[in-house]
Amino acid sequence: MSELPRGFRVRLAADAHRCDDGRTLFGGSSGRLVHLRPAALDRLDGSGAVEVRDATSGAVARLLLDRGLAHPYWSEPADATPADVTVVVPVLDRPVELDRLLRGLRGLATVVVDDGSSDPAALVVVCRRHDARYVRHDTRRGPAAARNTGLATARTPVVAFVDSDVVLDTAAVAALRRHLDDPRVALVAPRVLGLDEGRGVLARYEAARSSLDLGPSPARVHPHGRVSYIPSAVLLARRDALGGGFDEALEVAEDVDLVWRVAREHTVRYDPGVLVRHEHRTSTRAWLARKAFYGSGAALLAERHGPAVAPVVMAPWAAVVAGALLAQRRWSLPVALAAGAVAEVSLARRLHGSDRPYRAAAAVLAVGLHATLTQTAAALVRHHWPLTAALALGSARARRAVVVAVVVDGVLDHRRVRPDLDPVRYVALKRAEDLAYGAGLWAGCLRRRSVRALLPSVRRGPAPVDPHATSPSCAPHERGSR
């Protein structure tokens, strides 16, 4: 059964673009394009919402959800203390942090898995104080194994994995649980913000740009989507969709691996309307080490998921545009324009449901062009910076490309996330993060003797859609407008 229940409501994403009097939709968290027939369009109310009342409204809601063009919403708070959820907490020492976490989870069944702590007695005291079940590994086996032990111990159909340095309450778990009212949803995660926002420059940067904070917009999660993964800091899951659970051979990126495996057959959602707090690393050494550690996981993921890890994903026309502009030759601009024109004609011919196919195609490609340029800039200064730096030593064109990429990528990102930092310090910290991540990425590739995590992916289709961009011809959906 995959039908949505009666009364389930979805609303068009803020970054879903509408053309042809609202009949043509594209963008959202997946960059997909759909045409709505009159009966389907009638099910959308003035705010862009659909409530499941019959088979047609259910089909429309399902289509929009699956294409990433709409997200679930609720006008009432979630019911308190879901009885079918067990919270699994992997922990290595940290009794104070564990006590802080368990104080917020009163009423929920909780399993604490001690992964070889040096002072297990302190953790036992905390677990007894909060009526949590305590399970111990005699030797350290890693967070993936600890979560799997908790998964095997739980008896409820839903499990919430929560790290010990997180702060949340039962209401947050209940709010995540209602996403599983959609029978296709198997995993859901909240927005993770820092505990110490506002203290120091690095803390303010992390408050705006943490790897755990996936932004203010809800999304369907899948490789190469706007939100391509969700972290296991807080992760609520349907037990029967997890198979064997986390891959215990992975010391890093085990959560991304699980999310991508589950996303092959089920829906994974990110809900920033549910907020939790996390103790971010705010010392420079620990922060840079963590970024490099994250980068080192890409090679391991590439072995398991192939092009899902690609740092750049482009349609063929976009790859031609990017290559031409990077070449910085007299023929670069004419070649880029010609590639865009060919792509527009090709796409327009396929938009049979559009009243103005060339205008709609231009709108889609404009958003795709923005994505192409931002992806290229980011790859030059993040994923491929060792290669970029080597080329810049002997090439003036490469140096110009690096300067443009550094400025454009940093300024656009500052404008998008609007941090509590001036552009200069923000861009400097972003460059430091990118250098650390890229160093970890290349080190991981060298250890695995594979470059798969560094290779771009060229796939057929009109364009990769950047959901942060606005289109000149089709405005993003706004609540209260058609």
Residue 461's pLDDT band (boundaries 50, 70, 90)? low
96-107: per-residue pLDDT in tens?
999 999 999 999
Instruction: Tell me the C-alpha distance between 172 and 192, whole Å.
Output: 12
Q: Give the pLDDT of residue 186.
A: 97
Residue 319's pLDDT band (boundaries 50, 70, 90)? very high
**Would you say residue 478 has pLDDT above 90?**
no
Residue 465's pLDDT band (boundaries 50, 70, 90)? very low
Residue 463's pLDDT band (boundaries 50, 70, 90)? very low
**Would you say residue 481 has pLDDT above 70?**
no
**Would you say residue 67 has pLDDT above 80?**
yes
> 64 or 198: whose pLDDT is higher?
64
Give the total residue count for the chain: 482
Residue 200's pLDDT band (boundaries 50, 70, 90)? confident
Q: How much is the mean pLDDT over the chain?
A: 88
Residue 225's pLDDT band (boundaries 50, 70, 90)? confident
Residue 224's pLDDT band (boundaries 50, 70, 90)? confident
- Segment 306-330 shows an average pLDDT of 92
355-378: per-residue pLDDT in tens?
788 888 888 888 888 888 888 999
Q: Give the pLDDT of residue 29.
A: 64
Q: Give the pLDDT of residue 466.
A: 37
Q: Give the pLDDT of residue 416.
A: 85
Instruction: Tell me the C-alpha distance between 138 and 306, whole Å.
Output: 35
Residue 445's pLDDT band (boundaries 50, 70, 90)? very high
**Token pair recorded at residue 154:** 């739980």
- pTM here is 0.88
Residue 108's pLDDT band (boundaries 50, 70, 90)? very high
Beta bridge partners of 133: 111
Residue 89's pLDDT band (boundaries 50, 70, 90)? very high
One-letter-per-residue 3-state SS of the chain: CCCCCCCCEEEECCCEEEECCCCEEEECCCCEEEECCHHHHHCCCCCCEEECCCHHHHHHHHHHHHCCCEEECCCCCCCCCCCCEEEEEEECCCHHHHHHHHHCCCCCEEEEEEECCCCHHHHHHHHHHCCCEEEEECCCCCHHHHHHHHHHHCCCCEEEEECCCEECCHHHHHHHHHHHHCCCEEEEEEEEEECCCCCHHHHHHHHHHCCCCCCCCCEECCCCCCCCCCCCCEEEEEHHHCCCCCCCCCCCCHHHHHHHHHHCCCEEEEEEEEEEEECCCCCHHHHHHHHHHHHHHHHHHHHHHHHHHCCCEECHHHHHHHHHHHHCCCCHHHHHHHHHHHHHHHHHHHCCCCCCHHHHHHHHHHHHHHHHHHHHHHHHHHHCHHHHHHHHHHCHHHHHHHHHHHHHHHHHHHHHHCCCCCHHHHHHHHHHHHHHHHHHHHHHHHHHCCCHHHCCEECCCCCCCCCCCCCCCCCECCCCCC
Percent of the chain at pLDDT exceeding 90: 65
242-270: per-residue pLDDT in tens?
989 999 999 899 999 999 999 999 999 99
419-433: per-residue pLDDT in tens?
888 999 999 999 999
- Segment 30-54 shows an average pLDDT of 84
Given the candidates 3.90.550.10, 3.40.50.410, 3.30.980.20, 3.90.420.10, the CATH classification of the domain at 85-281 is 3.90.550.10
**Would you say residue 59 has pLDDT above 80?**
yes
Instruction: Tell me the C-alpha distance between 384 and 409, whole Å.
Output: 14
Which residue ranges does the chain devote to CATH 3.90.550.10?
85-281
